[in-house]
Amino acid sequence: MARFDGLTAVVTGSAQGLGQVFAVALASSGARVAGFDMADQGSTAALIGPSFEPFTVDVTDPDQVLRAVAAVGEAQILVNNAGIYPPIPFEETSVADLRRILRVNVEGPFLVTQALLPCLRRAGWGRIVNIASAAVFAGPPDIVAYTASKAALIGLTRSLATLLGPENITVNTIAPGLTRTDTAARSTGADGGFERVAATQRVPRVAEPSDLVSTLLYVCDPGSAFLTGQTINVDGGAAFL
């Protein structure tokens, strides 16, 4: 029996990158997966098959989120992965830029969690996983607004863990280091960013999306009922240098 047989997981940002890898991993372990994304999810559907159901959702739109959650029906696992990563110099970051980043990276997880919470309560337990970033601990100077948004997500995790712990619903954060995805490559890969970051790690190689899968499955597991409010850095050891 697979560890997530009979369970449903909602994964946001599931069309590509980490979200796609997470959706595939959960489905491969037995879960039915509902993918929320604004982009076409055909490639994710092709990888997973009939246990994947795509929903076209803007996670910052409350009405779209509520409709999608209603269509999903029941769920026990939520992975808030959708996010944006614009490397805008601090001095050039407009208020509109900041608000856009905060809307996707903080307001999105807030809205999806709020909408899905009745499902988790009906199930009598749940796992909420927020995908932040090890940038919160490294403090890189070129992504100030992004780093601030991910720090807010960690705060959301801790408060929700306190709120929901008595209901057997755990809330944790995974904070990846710079990971080789198409989005990261467009933002940092062209100028050797992957290699510069890898050189700061105790494990001196570029992180791949697959490096995050075992941590995700661990925090989502029904058996991980005593782990909550935590931020797990999966960054090759860079955060404690």
Query: 168-220, pLDDT tens digit by residue?
Result: 999 999 999 999 988 788 766 556 688 888 888 889 999 999 999 999 999 99
User: To the nearest whole percent, how much of the chain has pLDDT over 90?
Assistant: 85
> What pLDDT, on the 0 to 100 scale, is given for residue 34?
98
Q: What's the rounded mean pLDDT across residues 120-143? A: 95
Choose the catalytic residue: 128, 146, 161, 234.
146
> What pLDDT, on the 0 to 100 scale, is given for residue 1?
62
CATH 3.40.50.720 applies to domain 8-232: yes
Examine the pLDDT at 51 and tell me if it is beyond 60: yes
The CA-CA-CA angle for residues 141, 100, 194, to 5°, reads 40
Q: What is the pTM of this model?
A: 0.96
> What pLDDT, on the 0 to 100 scale, is given for residue 240?
54
DSSP conformational letter for 142: T
User: Is-catalytic flag, 146?
Assistant: yes
pLDDT-based confidence at 97, cuts 50/70/90? very high
| Gap between the Cα atoms of 211 and 117, Å rounded | 29
